[in-house]
Structure 1
Amino acid sequence: MDKIKELISLMNANDLSEIEIQEDTLRIKVKKTNGGFQPAFLPSVPSGSLPAPVGSVQHPLLKKDNLKEITSPMVGTFYRAATPGAEPHVGVGDVLDPDTVVCVIEAMKIINEIKAEVTGKVVEVLVEDGMPVEFGQPLFRVQPTVSGG
């Protein structure tokens, strides 16, 4: 329910009439109509028919509550590397500091470097290379580390 409220706030802030997200097997679509918002829980597709998220790792000792998400600061196209064919900026298991460039987002033909802004280890890459992203969309999940180690 909190996710739906967050989507509605995001829609209002960006003057959007429709938004759709998918996380694992859950897919939520919210449309603004004349009567207000209508959340639609779409049937999940059997896991065998969808590709696994890029670099997805589910560590049994990690709780998602403890993870920080690196989100997109803009609408654009997500790229894991600065140029096609180059090594990705970061991957699962990489240790980040706040100034680490984690990806680039192309918006209006301008390449924007996105920094981690958090110290920790990448545990999940949530977006596939070359896919469109929305403002506020989670791109990576990071297990934060305590200062000093």
Structure 2
Amino acid sequence: MDLRKLKTLIDLVSESNIAELEITENEGKVRIVKSGGTAFAAPMMTMPMQTAPAPAAASPVAPTALEAPAAPAAAAGHVVKSPMVGTYYASSTPGGKPLVDIGSSVKVGQAVCIIEAMKIMNEIEADVAGTVTQVLVQNGQAVEFGQPLFVIE
């Protein structure tokens, strides 16, 4: 789906009483969800290695079993959250060494993972210095906006 068409759909959802719109085309699915008066698009990848697309962050749908382990109960330390919807990758190359593991020391601004969104690879950086104590997602997993990725102490 081209960007002009996507922007038009987002504008239509923003200006209407529709809370959610999902469109399926040959290239894949796009789900547009209105959150607090503004709409945003969440590309839903339909690749064989994924089990199922996760619902958008603002969706009123109940949490699925995939999301349950991603929400640590009172995690000690600082939680690094996903700034976007996309696919999480632990390393910068397929099959490569992860950017960080449990026990890795990180500095502010150091790349900790990659999130692919709309075929763009985005480096996610640590916003605090410390030691990675938990990795809350698996390589190749779809992540939502605001989903916890790491715990750094």
TM score, norm. by length of structure 1 = 0.58
Question: Does the C-alpha gap of structure 1 residues 100 and 129 become closer, same or farther in structure 2, counting only changes over 3 Å?
Answer: same
Q: Which runs of 5+ in 1 are unaligned?
A: 1-10, 27-63, 144-149
Deviation per CA, 1:118-146: give whole Å up to 9, x if none: 11100000000000000000000111xxx
The alpha carbon displacement at 1:18 in A equals 2.3
2:65 matched to 1:23? Answer: no
Aligned residues: 96
Distance 1:103 1:128, change over 3 A: same
User: Please, which of 85, 106, 109 is the counterpart of residue 96 of structure 1?
Assistant: 106
Match of 1:83 among 93, 98, 112: 93
- Once the two structures are TM-superposed, the CA of residue 83 in structure 1 deviates from its matched residue by 1.1
CA distance in 1, matches of 2:112, 2:98: 8
How big is the shift at 1:65?
A: 5.4
1:1-149 → structure 2 map (5 Å cutoff): 12-13=35-36, 15-18=58-61, 20=63, 21-23=67-69, 64=74, 66-143=76-153
Tell me if structure 1 keeps the 8 A contact 2:91–2:99: yes
Superposition RMSD on alpha carbons, in Å? 2.4
User: How big is the shift at 1:78?
Assistant: 0.1
C-alpha change, 1:19 and 1:79, in structure 2 (3 Å) is farther
Q: 1:124 to 1:65 in 2, by over 3 A?
A: closer
Q: Secondary structure at the match of 1:16?
A: coil
Note closer, same or farther for the CA distance 1:140–1:83 as it changes in structure 2 (3 Å cut). Answer: same
Task: Report the Cα distance in structure 2 between the residues aligned to 1:132 and 1:65, rounded to whole angstroms.
Answer: 21
% identity of equivalent residues: 42
In the alignment, the residues of structure 2 paired with residue 131 and residue 65 of structure 1 have an alpha-carbon distance, to the nearest angstrom, of 21
| Alignment partners' CA distance in 2, 1:93 and 1:78 | 19
TM-score (norm 2): 0.57
Once the two structures are superposed, residues 76-124 of structure 1 have per-residue CA deviations (whole angstroms, 9 ceiling, x without a partner) of 0000001101100000001111111000000000000000011110000
The 1:119/1:111 distance shift into structure 2, 3 A limit, reads same
1:112 aligned partner, one-letter code: N
